[in-house]
A and B are shown apart, each in its own frame.
Chain A
Amino acid sequence: MTRRALVLLGSPKSRERSSSAHLARRIADRLEAGGWSIDWIHLLEAMASDDSKQRMLSAADASDLLLLAAPLYVDSLPAPAIGALEAILEHQETGGSSDASFCTVLNCGFIEPSHNDTAQRICRRFCSQAGYKWRGALSIGGAGQLTARVRRLLLDAGDALAQGDRIPLAVERDLHRLVIPRALYILGGNAMWRRVARKRFGVSRSGIRACPYEPAANSTDQS
C-alpha cells in the first residue's frame, strides 16, 4: 500500500515563493522516489475557515508522515502553524489517528541555524502531546539558502524518511554548521535590505530607519 506524507507548509507565502516549500520539496522528492504519495497543506489557508481546517485534519488522519516546513518567526513558528498544531492536538485528543510520524524542517533569516532551537523544542512537545512518533528536526540558517551541502543533507534526510527511519542525527548536526561567516552575512544582508528598499520602493537609508510610533512623532503616524 502506498504510504502518504503530508507537508504542513507554515510559511504564509505561496509554495512558489516560499523558502520553506523549496526545502520541503527536496525531501518530498526523495519520498516520492521511494514510492510515497505527497500532499501539501498551506497552514495560513487551513486556518482561514472551519472547512479548510477540517480538510487539514482529515489529511493528517490519512497520513503516515507529517512534515512541518516553516520559517522562524520571532523565535517560534509562525502563528498559523501554532494554530494548526493546536487544532491537530485537539483533534487527536478527541479521536484522531495517532499512528503517524512527525518531523520538521525549519529555516531562519539569521546565519546561525541554532536560532531555530526553541521552535524545534516547541515542535517536539507538540509531537509528544499529539502522540506522533518523532522522526527528527532539520534546522537551516541563512534564510534557507540551498547550498550544495544543504541540498545533499536534505536528500539524505528524505532517503531515511522514505525508508521509514528517523532522520540521521549526523544530518541534523551537519546542518548546524554555518554556510558563510557571520561578518560576511551581516555585510551582505544589510546591503541587500538597503538595495531592495531603494530599488523596489524608492526608500532611502534614512527612510528605512523611520520611527513612526515614537511618542513625539505620533502626528505623522502613517496608520
Chain B
Amino acid sequence: METRRKAVLFDGGSARRDTSPACSVVSVELERAAWTAETIRLDTADVSPCRGCFACWVKTPGVCIVDDAGRDLARAFIQSDLAVFVTPVTFGGYSYPLKKAVDRLIPLILPYFRRVDGEVHHVPRYRTYPRLLAIGIGNTGSDEAEVFQALVRRNAINMCSPQTVSCVVVDPNLPDGSDRIAASVREVIGE
C-alpha cells in the first residue's frame, strides 16, 4: 500500500489578519491529491522567540533548548514532505507569528559553513528536507510581492528545500486568489 505523503501548514495569520481561507484552499487541494495535511495555527501556539543562544548547535545538537511548541514545529517541518507557509505579507516578509516559528527551525541545520553557488551558507543536518510552498496574502501591485518572493527564495537555500514555489494573492476568497493558490499547490507537489 502506498504511503500518503505528508504536508504541514504553518498558518501565520491572526484574528485581525485571518489567513485560514488560504489554508483551506491548500488543504483541499492536497486532499484531492491524496496527501495528508496538518494545519498549525501559530498565533495561539506556545512558541517563544528564538534566543539566539546557539545551544541547538553546540549544546543539545538538533533540539532547541526552549521546551515549548517551537520544538514540535521543527519536528513537524522536517518530518514532512511539504511545508507550507501561509502569511499576511508584512513589509514584504512574514508575519510575527510565522517569523517566530521560522526562527525556531535553525536546529534543523548545522552550524558549519559551506559554499552554495559561490556564497557561504550552512550545511544541512538531515538527508532530506521538505519542499516549500509560501502563500502571501497582500498587495500584488507593489514591490511587496517581489520582496516576498525574494525572501522565500533565500529561505529555500538556507532550509535546503528541493523544490520551492511562492505566490502572493490579494484575496483567497476570490476565484482568482483561490485558483492561483491551488495552482501553486499543484506545481509544488508536481501534479
Contact = CB atoms under 8 A, between A and B. Distances in A.
Interface residues of A, number: 54
B103 to A, nearest CB: 5
A121 B110 contact: no
Contacts of A208: 57-58, 61, 110-111
Interface centre among A13, A118, A123, A186 (most CB of B within 10 A): A118
B93 A12 contact: no
Interface residues of B, number: 52
B91 A85 contact: yes
A93 interface: no
A83 interface: yes
A110 B58 contact: no
A49 interface: no
B115 A71 contact: no
Contacts, number: 157
Interface string A131-150: 00000000000000000000
A196 interface: yes
Contact of A12 (B50, B61, B71): B50
B4 interface: no
A169 interface: no
B122 to A, nearest CB: 9
Contacts of B28: none
Interface of A: 11-13, 44, 47, 71, 73-80, 82-83, 85-86, 110-112, 114-115, 118-119, 121-123, 125-126, 129, 182, 185-186, 189-190, 193, 196-197, 200-201, 203, 207-215, 221-223
Q: Which 10 pairs between the two chains have the least Cβ-Cβ distance?
A: A83-B96, A197-B58, A75-B154, A79-B99, A79-B100, A193-B111, A125-B91, A210-B61, A212-B62, A126-B91
Interface of B: 49-52, 57-63, 67, 71-72, 74-75, 78-79, 90-96, 99-100, 102-103, 105-106, 108, 110-115, 119-121, 125-127, 143-144, 147, 150-151, 154-155, 158
Given A11-B52, A79-B100, A208-B61, 8 more contacts: A76-B93, A122-B92, A125-B92, A193-B112, A197-B59, A208-B57, A208-B110, A213-B62
